[in-house]
Amino acid sequence: MKAVLPALARPLVEPHLPDGIDVHWFTSPEEAEAMVADADIGWVDIHRPEAWAQAVAAGKRLKWLSTIYAGLDPLDKPALIARGTRVTNGSGVNAHTVAEYAVMGCLVAAKRFDEVVRIADTHVWPYDAPGKLELYESHALVIGYGTIGKLVGERLAAFGVTVTGVTRSGAPGTIGPDAWRARLSEFDWIVLAAPATHESAAMIGAAELAAMKSSAWIVNVGRGALIDQDALIEACEKRRIGGAFLDTVTPEPLPPEHPLWTTPNVIHSMHLSGRSQTRMFLRATEIFVENIHAFMEGRPLRNEVDLAAGY
What secondary structure does DSSP assign to 110-131, as a single string?
A: HHTHHHHHHHHHTT---SS-S-
What is the average pLDDT score of the chain?
A: 96
The amino acid occupying position 99 is A
Per-residue pLDDT, averaged over 265-285, amounts to: 93
Question: pLDDT value at position 73?
Answer: 86
Q: Is residue 306 part of a domain?
A: no
Give which of 19, 20, 22, 15 is closest to 38, Cα–Cα.
22
Question: pLDDT value at position 199?
Answer: 87
Residue 47: pLDDT band with limits 50, 70, 90: confident
Question: pLDDT value at position 70?
Answer: 85
Regarding whether 99 and 87 lie in a shared domain, the answer is no
Backbone angles phi, psi at 103, to 5 degrees: -65, -40
Regarding whether 59 and 175 lie in a shared domain, the answer is no
Residue 292: pLDDT band with limits 50, 70, 90: very high
Q: How many domains does the chain have?
A: 2
Residue 229: pLDDT band with limits 50, 70, 90: very high
Q: Is residue 255 part of a domain?
A: yes
Regarding whether 174 and 43 lie in a shared domain, the answer is no
Per-residue pLDDT, averaged over 40-44, amounts to: 98
Per-residue pLDDT, averaged over 241-262, amounts to: 97
Question: pLDDT value at position 11?
Answer: 97
Would you say residue 311 has pLDDT above 80? Answer: no
Per-residue pLDDT, averaged over 122-150, amounts to: 97
Q: Is residue 311 part of a domain?
A: no
Say if residue 172 is preceded by a cis peptide, omega within 30 of 0: no
Question: pLDDT value at position 134?
Answer: 98
Question: pLDDT value at position 256?
Answer: 97
Regarding whether 57 and 205 lie in a shared domain, the answer is no
Question: pLDDT value at position 151?
Answer: 98
Q: Give the C-alpha separation, 158 to 156, whole Å.
A: 5
Task: Give the contacts of 122 (CB within 8 A, at least 6 positions apart).
Answer: none
Q: Give the C-alpha separation, 61 to 124, whole Å.
A: 62
Per-residue pLDDT, averaged over 125-141, amounts to: 98
Q: Worst-scoring range by mean pLDDT, 10-19, 67-76, 96-105, 219-228?
A: 67-76
Element (H, E) at 56: helix 49-58
For the sheet with 64-66, list strands across it: 22-26, 2-6, 41-42, 64-66, 86-88
Per-residue pLDDT, averaged over 174-182, amounts to: 95
Question: pLDDT value at position 196?
Answer: 87
Regarding whether 121 and 7 lie in a shared domain, the answer is no
Give which of 234, 282, 280, 241 is closest to 92, Cα–Cα.
280
Segments in the chain forming alpha helices (H): 10-13, 29-35, 49-58, 77-83, 95-111, 113-121, 147-157, 206-211, 229-237, 280-297
Per-residue pLDDT, averaged over 226-250, amounts to: 98
Please check whether residue 13 is in contact with residue 289, taking contact to mean a CB–CB distance below 8 angstroms. Answer: yes
Residue 309: pLDDT band with limits 50, 70, 90: confident
Domain that holds residue 18: 2-91+278-297
